[in-house]
Amino acid sequence: MSIEGKARSALFARGQPGGPVVIDGANEHPGNIWFVDSGQTTTGGNTVGHGRSPDKPFLTLAYAFSGDCPTANNGDVIYVMPGHTESVIAAGTITQDIAGVKVIGLGVGNDRPIFTFSTADTATWVVSGASSWIENVILLSGVNACANNLVISGADCVVKNVTIRDASSTVEFAGSILTTAAADRLVIDGLEYQGFIAGDACTRVIQLVGINDCKILNSSFYGEVSTAIVDITTASHNVEVDNCYFYNDNVALTKNVVDTATGSTWWAKGYDGKGGYGFSGGSGASGIAADDVGTVSTAVSGLTSWATTSSTAVSGLTSSFVVQSTAVSGLTSRATTSSTAVSGLTSSFVVQSTAVSGLTSWATTSSTAVSGLTSRATTSSTAVSGLTSSFLVQSAAVSGLTSSFVVQSTAVSTLTSYLVVIQSYVISGW
């Protein structure tokens, strides 16, 4: 319980400096509680007897593990205090090899603990303990082209709300999170990579090497990457990349998730900042693709049943299709063609030019030059010949023609039975 009358935070309450400490949230971390703070140089130390109080902490996270202070699979938590800084200078400088231990950084923004990878480009934080947890820390590049910062070989590990930050466009990580095949069921949630689009060192951010059941969630990347943000270099299975924002100034889309090994099973969904669109896809879809399907012309809208084509020149039309030019709208049943030059029309088609509207049943053709019409067709032209039975010919000057058959033209000949000939100036043969 906390000490009565004293200020109490969500983490712990002090009676007095160096006095008893009461920890809240024991249901979340029922084991031992440890503290790391590089700023407590007077009272802190990397020796036995330190680490159990924020007033007397360990000075480095590396010592907390190398001194075998936490107990494995006991629910132990190591709190790294706000403003803590620590250098990672060689492979395995920090080796998180005790299973089931959480490392949680305290603070917000740049007050979070900062671990700088410097001196050698092989400097790493190794996570080999199963069920390890890393949260709310900053991993900063201190040497250019550092190969990896986190090397994860423990199963069931969690990397949560971690920021990976390049120091500048010339001091960048070449790679960041690298797994081994033993790191099954890895969860990376809320990872943020802060890079530079002027950079050139970053090859990949997350490299998956033969793992199963990996989730990469709610994460973001900004910068320049040459191979892939998520690179599967050894076949991995059931990999999920979801709700992520990727901005790779090198190229849009194609380097967000890459199955370099081939044969992996994976799925991805997110937003591509470079391309300006959402993306989704996976192994079954042969990679990811933009969700943008805006290939429909801006000139066509509100098109309805059957199939619709918008073009200024259409030929070879078949039944039950609608062809709509930019000059014609609202065309309906069967097939409708609007064009200034149409040929080879068959039954049950309507051809409507810009000069003719409201044509109805069977087939109507309006054109300045139409030939080869078949039965039950209507022809409007200034020059028509060789008409046979059951035809109606209407010029642009005549409208509202009714039953039977009417043929009107300035020159009509060879009319046959059951036809009525109306000629503009001379009427004969009644």
Helix (H) or strand (E) holding 235: none
- 155-183 burial, b if ≥16 CB within 10 A, otherwise e? bbbbbbbbbbbbbebebbbbbbbbbeeeb
Q: Is 295 left (phi over 0), alpha (psi -120 to 50) or beta?
A: alpha
Per residue in 246-301, pLDDT (tens digit) is 999 999 999 999 999 999 999 999 999 999 999 999 998 778 999 865 433 343 34
pTM confidence score: 0.68
Predicted local distance difference test score (pLDDT) of residue 68? 86
Nearest 5°: the CA angle 373, 376, 379 is: 50
Predicted local distance difference test score (pLDDT) of residue 93? 98
Q: Which residues of the chain have pLDDT under 70?
A: 1-27, 292-430
